A and B are shown apart, each in its own frame.
Chain A
């Protein structure tokens, strides 16, 4: 069967909103003969946590980069927060933010200097107060005046998260947000993300390989393989659908044998 699914994760998660935070229609990205993203469509409801899962090369990072305007799609339409991204990218980017292992902050600048620069770029009204507030929340107080290059990987991840929240975004895109953190810090960061979502009503779109994290945080999941969305739904629904006990088992099923809908007669 055609594996291109039109996915509405707001229905899966039970979250309702007039316009989705992200609406993607027929998104394609080709690099020469390689179809990194192969005609995907999905909606992400406002205020939801949605995970984008898939193995390496599935198209997750390309999808996120397109949503940030860093990669121009070959075809398709992207709406963010109810506006067409291609036409309103700069006003929309002021309401979004992201963190990715593929982008670093300048390591010779201190954490405070980095956050000051990005606060100005995003037009934060009172950068000093916002930086102080984020430093408290992300336990960065003692690190603010240290160059980023002197910090451990985990500390840099927290500094990167502070940058990702510097403009109090309505939509946050995170690529492996807890990849370099120890379990205790990772758990603490997940608590921060959940608290921020609750307080700000923000939408999270997360690419992750940490299935426990996805089960704990996310209302819904999009599963990618070979540039396609091959399955989607709430984590518990997917676990039940595949007859498994964890989302990791579902991930392995999809990665090795394809989505259940693919193999169904």
Chain B
């Protein structure tokens, strides 16, 4: 795919810097990163408050919906953050410049992941603090498992984001809508708000290959049973290796096809 040399960190840093300039120079972009996670958190926080008053289950498992919505945002923001960072280059017709520098494709992928990580953390951190203030729920009460949940979900998000970015590289901006469609299609399958055990048997087969299913089930195990399901975490990690390899391979194949078809100089708005 590509080699690593002494210039690798500098080139990765250059791409990250380009996106940092973009975010930091525009307060509406900055606000946009935080806005939807906060709105989602508030909406689901009130739903949870209502359900806690109606149901002994929710009263005992406080934070189950808020935890779910914030972890879902890790997956969603991770995926969309990577895809949008790539789309920014397409919108600005900058791909030709980027890929005619010594930047290696593996370095570019690493940079997209770092940009996605930064966008996810910037977007979610205020929502997690406000959840404590508004609803008395701290995502950080998940403890050390939160780190494993976060890593697992964002890696899964990157896998899908890379594949979607590859689709745009190959088929143009007409494929941009897949960035939103793919991830929302997965939401019902990975049991964000309910155990995957309630899904029909054939849907459970699909659910079982998604790392996120194990993470959301694992989150409920922590909040309801106060147990960290290491088996869930390990299964999710193993599946993530496969999904990430597939996402990277998809991006590389589509990039290769884009070079073959002369798309790198043509892509743009």
Which residues from chain A sit less than 8 Å from chain B, CB to CB? Answer: 29, 31, 36, 61-62, 65, 68-72, 90-91, 93-94, 96-98, 100, 102-110, 113, 116-118, 120-123, 147, 163
Contacts and interface: CB of A to CB of B under 8 A. Distances in A.
B149 to A, nearest CB: 34
B231 interface: no
Contacts of B97: 103-105, 118, 163
A69 B100 contact: yes
17 contacts: A31-B261, A62-B262, A65-B264, A65-B265, A71-B262, A72-B259, A100-B96, A100-B265, A103-B96, A103-B97, A104-B93, A106-B89, A106-B94, A109-B18, A109-B22, A117-B17, A122-B102
Contacts of B25: 108-110, 113, 147
Contact of A91 (B95, B102, B266): B102
B94 A105 contact: yes
Contacts of A69: 99-100, 259
B101 A113 contact: no
Which 5 pairs between the two chains have the least Cβ-Cβ distance? A103-B96, A120-B14, A104-B93, A106-B92, A121-B101
Interface in B242-269: 256, 259-262, 264-266, 268
B101 A118 contact: yes
Contact of A71 (B88, B103, B264): B264
A121 B107 CA distance: 11
Given A65-B265, A72-B260, A106 B88 contact: yes
A164 to B, nearest CB: 10
A29 B260 CA distance: 9
A93 B101 contact: yes
A70 B265 contact: yes
Contacts of B13: 120
A161 to B, nearest CB: 13
Contacts of B15: 117, 121
A78 to B, nearest CB: 14
A42 B62 CA distance: 73
B259 A103 contact: no
A93 B96 CA distance: 13
Given A93-B101, A109-B22, A117-B15, 6 more contacts: A69-B99, A94-B101, A102-B265, A106-B89, A107-B92, A116-B17
A96 B101 CA distance: 8
A118 B50 CA distance: 53
Most chain A Cβ neighbours within 10 Å, of B93, B96, B101: B101
B157 to A, nearest CB: 24
B22 A123 contact: no
B103 A121 contact: yes
Contacts of A147: 25
Contacts of B200: none
Contacts of A100: 96, 265
Interface in B142-169: none
B11 interface: yes
B23 to A, nearest CB: 10
A97 B265 CA distance: 15
Contact of B262 (A65, A98, A110): A65
B239 to A, nearest CB: 33
B104 interface: yes
Contacts of B96: 65, 68, 70, 100, 102-103
Contacts of A163: 97
Given A103-B265, A117-B21, A70 B14 contact: no
A121 B102 contact: yes
Nearest to A64: B265
A31 B258 CA distance: 12
Given A62-B262, A104-B94, A105-B94, A122 B101 contact: yes
A103 B98 CA distance: 10
A103 B93 contact: yes
A29 B256 CA distance: 15
A109 B98 CA distance: 15
B183 to A, nearest CB: 26
A105 B92 contact: yes
Given A69-B99, A70-B100, A90-B104, A120 B11 contact: yes
Contact of B264 (A29, A70, A98, A118): A70
Given A102-B93, A108-B25, A123 B10 contact: yes
Contacts of A121: 11, 14-15, 98, 101-103
Contacts of A71: 259-260, 262, 264-265
Contacts of A123: 7, 10-11, 102
